[in-house]
Amino acid sequence: MKLGLVENLIKVEHVSRYFSLGGILTTNRFKAVDNVSFTIPVGSPQIFTIIGESGSGKTTLARMMLNLVKPSSGTIYFKGRDLTTIHSRKDKIRFMGDVQPVFQNPFSAFNPLKKVDRYLYISAYRFTTASTKSESEKCADIALNKVGLSLPEVKDRFPHELSGGQLQRIAIARALIASPSLLIADEPVSMVDASLRIAIVNLFKTLRDDLGVSIIYITHDLTTAYYISDQIIIMQKGVVVERGEARNILENPQHPYSQTLKQSVLSPTSTLND
Amino acid sequence: MIASDNLKPHDQDVLQLRNVKAYYKTKFFGIDREVRAVDSITLNIQRNQIYGLAGESSSGKTTLIKTIAGNLRPPLRLLEGNILFNFRNHSHPIDIATASSEKLYSVRWKHISYIMQGSMSVLNPVRRIHQSFIDFAFHHIKQPYPKFLKIVQQHLEDLHLDPNILKAYPHELSGGMRQRVAIALATVCKPEFIIADEPTTALDVVVQKSVLKLIKNVQQEMGSSMLFITHDLAVHANLTDRLGIMYAGRLVEEGETKKLFKNPLHPYTKHLISSLPSIGDLSKKNSLEGSPPNLADPPAGCRFHPRCPLAIEQCRISNPPLVETAPKHRVACFKVNPRKE
């Protein structure tokens, strides 16, 4: 670990990712993410939102931040450390404990043939000092309490016995076991009912305010983004077209693409014809 | 207890549901299990109307569609009730529950069609789009192939789609385009009744809006009726004429969409509408405590009472009937309609 003052929790510097199309010999390249930079400072937990339609490179960016995909150019620093220098198993586990994902579809995030509490125990063994069954259960219970559930509700249950909202909260609880400083939530509410969306986004707010977890919230839903975000970037075809303070941007978008996005948001008072 | 008499059948109605009960009944190792997915639903859908149905997952929306379309395969069974379709060129209404399979075959897709949620699973991934059109509609249009193809091409042009997509495979089209093709497929026979089951849920905002516009235009041009199902109330507010709110297999409130949004009466509807986030609104939104009931073992009385902030003793004992409180506005809640002893 590098000593000294670490200013940024995560720093994304001129990051691009290309995917080549066709065979080995072609030079066709598809730019999924093109020269994206942003930082999240350490010490002031915030909800950082990435907005864009499908195919705008949101998920590729998230996968790069999780160190699942290497950037084609540019660097990502997490707590001052370049992600490409993480090699040893110990470093990898430490990084995974600090940056945790929450995925889009809670129904496919859990194996339907395994009990859901198993995932909580495995995370507890791996990322905490728990080494016995009772210790891991205790860890799981603490994490579940943070998301408004308790272990008896979840214990010995299969995914099909739980509702989508409960499963998504268990997925978030699983991520919290490692006590991460950054959660990367890739469209966490798009597969969940509208009535449960609010429960999940309220949970993110509590995590930020009470536990001090920074959250990268990836979505195409502008209304929940407005409701919870602090900072926002709007992406179109891999390029950041607008960035800044979330409420200012969403109330007053400047870029034509952001304006189209805002106009397309349906609300009880809007009409289809404008 | 059945409050169905306050909805008189009318000539203008294309669909009348009278006290429909459809349960999933299973018997494994001697244990009977009954899932009451659709419980005593009475509603009428008028001609040239978009009727919206909202409710969270597992509230019985999809089971209701299956029942309406006559797709009753075990373990789903229709216990009682009538599903009457009143088509323009038919002298007698058709009761889906008792109609013969030949009758159902002639009515489906020609008069009742269906826009499904996952457009990728509607279109056959290994066949070109025009072959999907043949599979679905050739039998119903009853024209020789060259003329059939012309009708399909004309229909696609009417929907502002390029007729060349007929040669494409589904994977070559984007999600929004596939959904538009699914809409074209469902409307090619000019049906009088269209069922749309969450057609825009998988799409993002920009595409969603244009697909909704397309649905509305098609519906208005053909003068057909539509049953539109989604859990997203913002979509209902923009598209539907009438809105029914379902909770745990029952209809809890029904009314004209605009009035319902202005003046929701049932506590569940109130919660749904007040919890919609919107740009420019910074107030704290609350979520409902608890989770929707298990339909195999629903709570006694009003099914919403364990989560209801207004629940009184009566709610735990008996089920509130769906009563007309204002013209064309029905609510099932004891707090709104105190029972007269």
pLDDT digits (tens, 9 = 90+) for A101-126: 998 888 888 999 999 999 999 999 98
Residue A271 confidence (pLDDT): 77
Residue B20, C-beta contacts closer than 8 angstroms, at least 6 positions apart: B38, B40, B41, B42, B64, B67, B78, B80, B81, B82, B83
Chain A interface disruption, residue of B206, B281, B282, B307, most A CBs within 10 A: B206
Q: How far is B171 from chain A (nearest CA, A)?
A: 15
The reply to whether A245 touches chain B by the CB within 8 Å rule is: no
Among the listed residues A8, A64, A63, A55, the one whose alpha carbon sits nearest the alpha carbon of residue A32: A55
Among the listed residues A253, A260, A191, the one whose alpha carbon sits nearest the alpha carbon of residue B206: A260
- Check if the beta carbon of residue B208 is closer than 8 Å to that of residue B239: no
Residue type, B101: S
Distance CA A172, CA A183 (A): 9
Whether residue B209 and residue A272 make contact (CB cut-off 8 A), yes or no, is yes
Whether residue A220 and residue B280 make contact (CB cut-off 8 A), yes or no, is no
Which residue of chain B has the CA closest to A167?
A: B291
Q: Residue B40: which H helix or E strand, with range? A: strand B31-46
Distance of CA B198 to the CA centre of its chain: 9
Chain B interface disruption, residue of A267, A270, A273, A274, most B CBs within 10 A: A267
| CATH number of domain containing A248 | 3.40.50.300
pLDDT tens-digit map of A239-266: 999 999 999 999 999 999 999 988 888 8
- Check if the beta carbon of residue A179 is closer than 8 Å to that of residue A96: no
Distance CA B336, CA B268 (A): 12
Q: Predicted ipTM?
A: 0.79
Q: Judged by CB atoms within 8 Å, which residues 149-178 of A form the interface with B?
A: 163-166
The reply to whether A252 touches chain B by the CB within 8 Å rule is: no
pLDDT tens-digit map of A202-232: 999 999 999 899 999 999 888 899 999 999 9
DSSP letters for B154-218 = HHHHHTT--GGGGGS-GGGS-HHHHHHHHHHHHHTT--SEEEEESTTTTS-HHHHHHHHHHHHHH
pLDDT in tens, chain B (341 residues): 444 444 555 678 899 998 999 998 888 888 888 888 898 899 899 989 999 999 887 788 888 988 998 888 888 888 888 899 988 888 888 888 888 888 888 888 889 998 887 766 788 889 999 999 999 999 898 899 999 999 999 999 988 889 999 999 988 888 888 888 999 999 999 899 999 988 887 788 888 888 899 999 989 988 899 999 988 888 999 999 999 999 988 999 999 999 999 999 999 999 888 888 888 888 888 888 777 788 888 888 899 998 888 888 888 988 888 888 888 899 999 888 876 54
Q: b or e along B286-311 (b: 16 or more beta carbons within 10 Å of the residue's beta carbon)?
A: ebbeebbbebeebeebbbbbbbbeeb
Whether residue A193 and residue B56 make contact (CB cut-off 8 A), yes or no, is yes
Mean pLDDT of A41-64: 89
A112 is a domain residue: no
Q: How far is B96 from chain A (nearest CA, A)?
A: 31
Mean pLDDT of A156-181: 88
Residues of B with CB below 8 A from A221's CB?
A: 205
Residue B5 confidence (pLDDT): 46
Residue A248, C-beta contacts closer than 8 angstroms, at least 6 positions apart: none
Residue A72 confidence (pLDDT): 92
Total length of chain B: 341
Question: What mean pLDDT value characterizes chain A?
Answer: 88
Q: How far is A256 from chain B (nearest CA, A)?
A: 13
Which residues are B228's β-sheet partners?
B52, B196
Whether residue B278 and residue A198 make contact (CB cut-off 8 A), yes or no, is no
Give me the number of domains chain A comprises: 1
A54 is a domain residue: yes
The reply to whether A251 touches chain B by the CB within 8 Å rule is: yes
A240 is a domain residue: yes
Distance CA A238, CA A249 (A): 19
Quote the domain boundaries for residue A242.
Answer: 8-106+182-264
Q: Does residue A274 carry a pLDDT above 80? A: no
Residues of A with CB below 8 A from B271's CB?
A: 195
- Check if the beta carbon of residue B150 is closer than 8 Å to that of residue B130: no
Which residue of chain A has the CA closest to B215?
A: A272
Whether residue A198 and residue B287 make contact (CB cut-off 8 A), yes or no, is yes
H-assigned helices in A110-163: 117-127, 133-146, 151-154
- Check if the beta carbon of residue A251 is closer than 8 Å to that of residue A237: no
Which residues are B46's β-sheet partners?
B13
Token pair of B287 as six digits: 């979520």
Q: Which of A163, A247, A266 is facing B209, going by the closest CB pair?
A: A266
Q: What is the biggest distance separating any 2 CA atoms in chain A, rounded to whole angstroms? A: 61
The reply to whether A206 touches chain B by the CB within 8 Å rule is: no
Residues of B with CB below 8 A from A168's CB?
A: none
Which residue of chain A has the CA closest to B277?
A: A223
Among the listed residues B203, B202, B196, B168, the one whose alpha carbon sits nearest the alpha carbon of residue B182: B196
Whether residue A54 and residue B271 make contact (CB cut-off 8 A), yes or no, is no
pLDDT band at A272 (very low <50, low <70, confident <90, very high): confident
A138 is a domain residue: no
Mean pLDDT of A129-150: 89
Residue B60 confidence (pLDDT): 85
pLDDT band at A1 (very low <50, low <70, confident <90, very high): very low
Residue A12 to residues A36, B117, B335, Cα–Cα distance (Å): 7, 37, 55
CA-angle at A150, arms to B55 and A174, nearest 5°: 85
A89 is a domain residue: yes
Whether residue A272 and residue B273 make contact (CB cut-off 8 A), yes or no, is no
Q: Residue A95: which H helix or E strand, with range? A: helix A89-98
A157 is a domain residue: no
pTM, entire model:
0.85
Q: Judged by CB atoms within 8 Å, which residues 75-134 of A form the interface with B?
A: none
Q: Judged by CB atoms within 8 Å, which residues 44-63 of A form the interface with B?
A: 53-54
Token pair of A29 as six digits: 């390249």
Residue B339 confidence (pLDDT): 66
Residue A4 confidence (pLDDT): 53
A207 is a domain residue: yes
A20 is a domain residue: yes
Please tell me chain A's helix, strand, coil percentages from 3-state DSSP, rounded to the nearest 5.
Answer: 40, 25, 35
Q: Which residue has the tokens 């009438």?
A: B242
- Check if the beta carbon of residue B178 is closer than 8 Å to that of residue B123: yes
Residue type, A231: Q
Residues of B with a Cβ under 8 Å from any A Cβ are 56-58, 175, 204-209, 212-213, 216, 231-235, 237-239, 261, 271-273, 275-282, 285-288, 291-292
Residue B173 confidence (pLDDT): 87
Residues of B with CB below 8 A from A167's CB?
A: none
Residue B251 to residues B43, B52, B182, B196, B238, Cα–Cα distance (Å): 9, 12, 29, 18, 21
Which residue of chain B has the CA closest to A205?
A: B284
